[in-house]
Amino acid sequence: MGTINNSFTSVEMWNLNPGGTDRGPFLVVQAGIAPGDELVRESLFILRPDGKWVDAMYLGAAGKPELLDDALFPSSQSVMELLGRLGPKAEVEPTTVSDAELQSWIQRTAGTDPMQRLRNFLEGYRQRHPQP
């Protein structure tokens, strides 16, 4: 895995309403390494509509499910427009949770890989926002 970037060919767009009559909202994810990370840690990152990436583990560890809501896009077109405006280098938002909060969340979700943790987080979104 390499360093994350803002190329549309490097991201995955997940439709959070795959069975509904409407498309979206969409979550944009990318696995890789944050630019400038000297420890070269691979992680799963989520793109927010403000153009910044955030480590998915920190979203989960924050204990605020609504943070995921702030990272959703209303349409695939809005994702493509944003990616078209951004330069190639990804900007990662600094973490806002303590190491203790992160370790606590990792222990609570032990036995699941980062992708499964994110799927569980998304299931919480679907429960908070049921589709008709």
Distance, in Å, from the CA atom of 71 to the CA atom of 118, rounded to the nearest integer, reads: 13
What per-residue confidence (pLDDT) applies to 10?
94
Residue 131's pLDDT band, with cuts at 50, 70 and 90, is low
Mean pLDDT of the chain: 84
State the pTM of this model: 0.82
Share of the chain above pLDDT 70, in %: 94
What per-residue confidence (pLDDT) applies to 53?
96
pLDDT digits (tens, 9 = 90+) for 62-91: 777 777 888 999 998 999 999 999 999 999
Instruction: Return the exposure string of 73-100: e unless at least 16 CB atoms fall within 10 Å of the residue's CB, then b.
Output: beeeebbeebbeebeeebebeebebeee
